[in-house]
Amino acid sequence: MKRVILLGSSGSIGESTCKVARALPDKMKIVGLGVAKSTDRVLEQAREFGVEAVAVSDPRAAEKVKKDIPKGIKFYPGEEGLTRMVEETEAEMVLVAIVGTAGLAPSLAALRTGKDLAVASKEILVLAGSAVMREAKKNQRKILPVDSEHNAIFQCLQSAKNQEVRKIILTASGGPFRQSSAEEMKKVTIAQALKHPTWSMGKKITIDSATMFNKGLEMIEAHWLFGLPMSQVEVVVHPQSIVHSLVEFVDGSVLAQLSVTDMCFPIQYAVTYPERRPSGLPPLDLPKLGTLTFEAPDEKRFPALRLAREAGEAGGTLPGVFNAANEVAVEAFLEGRISFPRIWEMVEIVMSSHSTQKEPDLAAIVAADQWARIQARAIVGGKP
Ligand code: MG
């Protein structure tokens, strides 16, 4: 039985993780739940799974819900609550699915206190890849990718040594504007950008898929996770989202992982690894699928990939700046304040005015993140 702490339980990955826990009652037990503000949902989940601890990071939401926490459940309120719950609750694994920088400190705390880390939040490796990998090594803990692409690569690499890998190839759906011209993208509406062709996800990640910033973030994540330089991380557009990623080996052989699009697949593998368990998930019907197609990404129309490569190669604080500027730009786009292509422009402007700090500590990472947000907001506001 694996005892799992789930951070970000009310989001789309969090709910899928709960589904996996329901399907694997003899293999997985959720013992702790963390949310920012979704107190009603976390109380329901706490009762359903009989957890030992609950953390609510938003101080006002925590204050309000305090009196409703059932007896016998340890409550961790406020910003430090997530980290304290991770430190003090006995568990084998912490699955982090909270957006933003809030997942950083609890992730490092998980590794420090001898727990494996299942990573769903991109920010953890994009912002602090070096620190997180170092902490995992020091404590001999595993980092298990939950993102479908990285989970696919992780599966393909099971029998391989690192020096046998020529490159890893992340698949990208290409989003709703895969075939749109640069001119057409200037007129993209919020509703059009929120319509993802294959995956149903939160708003931020759906826009990131449309701009391909999501794939850019995943390139940087893969670079850290698998210890490969950015030059060995490639992207191929695969509109059907059935092949979740591939690994090319030095002998020219390529392995791929395929499944229908359901996040329960990578979550279950991360939890049961190194074992595989039967699941009630739908199998792949290849004859019904018929055709799978692949095409090269167009970095001119989708500059996010080029910017990601730059950020990943520079390392230090630049990937965090890339991420933070994009977050502000996406918010501004969703508020109708900037055009769709302006998202790329804003990130490029903020990145080019940043002086990268190498080997940053957590404080420097957070400082660079805040600096980038201020710069990006100023651009939205029309100042610099
Ligand atoms: Mg993904």
| d(CA 368, ligand 1 centre) in Å | 25
| d(CA 171, ligand 1 centre) in Å | 9
Residue 364 banded pLDDT, cuts 50, 70, 90: very high
Span 198-217, average pLDDT: 88
Classify 274 as helix, strand or coil.
coil
**Does the pLDDT of residue 287 top 50, yes or no?**
yes
Q: Are 379 and 347 in contact (CB under 8 A)?
A: no
| d(CA 381, ligand 1 centre) in Å | 31
Structure tokens at 234: 């490639």
pLDDT in tens, 149-191: 999 999 999 988 888 999 999 999 999 999 999 999 999 999 9
Q: Which of 103, 62, 113, 52 shows the shortest CA–CA distance to 82?
A: 103
| d(CA 147, ligand 1 centre) in Å | 5
Rounded distance between C-alpha atoms, residue 193 and residue 74, angstroms: 41
- Kind plus residue range of the DSSP H or E element containing 172: strand 165-172
Rounded distance between C-alpha atoms, residue 365 and residue 100, angstroms: 12
What local confidence, expressed as pLDDT, does residue 162 receive?
A: 82
Contacts of residue 366, Cβ cutoff 8 Å, sequence gap at least 6 = 101, 104
| Beta bridge mates, 93 | 4, 116
Amino acid of residue 376: A
| d(CA 13, ligand 1 centre) in Å | 11
| d(CA 244, ligand 1 centre) in Å | 8
Rounded distance between C-alpha atoms, residue 194 and residue 6, angstroms: 27
Residue 117 per-residue DSSP state: E
| d(CA 257, ligand 1 centre) in Å | 13
| d(CA 151, ligand 1 centre) in Å | 9
| d(CA 170, ligand 1 centre) in Å | 9
What local confidence, expressed as pLDDT, does residue 204 receive?
A: 87
Residue 384 banded pLDDT, cuts 50, 70, 90: very low
Span 265-277, average pLDDT: 97
Q: Which residue has the higher pLDDT, 373 or 79?
A: 373
Q: Are 260 and 242 in contact (CB under 8 A)?
A: yes
| d(CA 149, ligand 1 centre) in Å | 5
| d(CA 59, ligand 1 centre) in Å | 31
| d(CA 214, ligand 1 centre) in Å | 7
What local confidence, expressed as pLDDT, does residue 181 receive?
A: 96
| d(CA 263, ligand 1 centre) in Å | 9
**Does the pLDDT of residue 383 top 90, yes or no?**
no
Burial of residue 335 (number of CB atoms within 10 Å: 0-12, 13-18, 19+): exposed
Q: Are 7 and 94 in contact (CB under 8 A)?
A: yes
Q: Are 224 and 122 in contact (CB under 8 A)?
A: no
Span 265-273, average pLDDT: 98
| d(CA 88, ligand 1 centre) in Å | 31
Compute the radius of gyration of the chain from its Cα atoms.
Answer: 20
Rounded distance between C-alpha atoms, residue 97 and residue 342, angstroms: 28
| d(CA 181, ligand 1 centre) in Å | 24
Residue 282 per-residue DSSP state: P
Span 189-208, average pLDDT: 85
| d(CA 216, ligand 1 centre) in Å | 10
| d(CA 351, ligand 1 centre) in Å | 23
pLDDT in tens, 118-137: 999 888 999 999 999 999 99
pLDDT in tens, 309-356: 999 999 999 999 999 999 999 999 999 999 999 999 999 999 999 999
Rounded distance between C-alpha atoms, residue 177 and residue 289, angstroms: 22
**Does the pLDDT of residue 101 top 60, yes or no?**
yes
| d(CA 260, ligand 1 centre) in Å | 14
| d(CA 148, ligand 1 centre) in Å | 5
What local confidence, expressed as pLDDT, does residue 113 receive?
A: 98
Q: Are 211 and 340 in contact (CB under 8 A)?
A: yes
| d(CA 179, ligand 1 centre) in Å | 20
| d(CA 328, ligand 1 centre) in Å | 20
Q: Which of 271, 274, 200 shows the shortest CA–CA distance to 21?
A: 271
Residue 139 per-residue DSSP state: T
Domains, the chain, ranges and CATH? 2-145 (3.40.50.720), 315-384 (1.10.1740.10)
| d(CA 31, ligand 1 centre) in Å | 26
| d(CA 218, ligand 1 centre) in Å | 7
**Does the pLDDT of residue 81 top 60, yes or no?**
yes
Rounded distance between C-alpha atoms, residue 260 and residue 100, angstroms: 28
Rounded distance between C-alpha atoms, residue 39 and residue 318, angstroms: 34
Span 35-63, average pLDDT: 97
**Does the pLDDT of residue 47 top 50, yes or no?**
yes
| d(CA 321, ligand 1 centre) in Å | 20
DSSP string, 50-96: T-SEEEE-SHHHHHHHGGGSPTT-EEEESTTHHHHHHHHS--SEEEE
| d(CA 73, ligand 1 centre) in Å | 34
What local confidence, expressed as pLDDT, does residue 99 receive?
A: 80
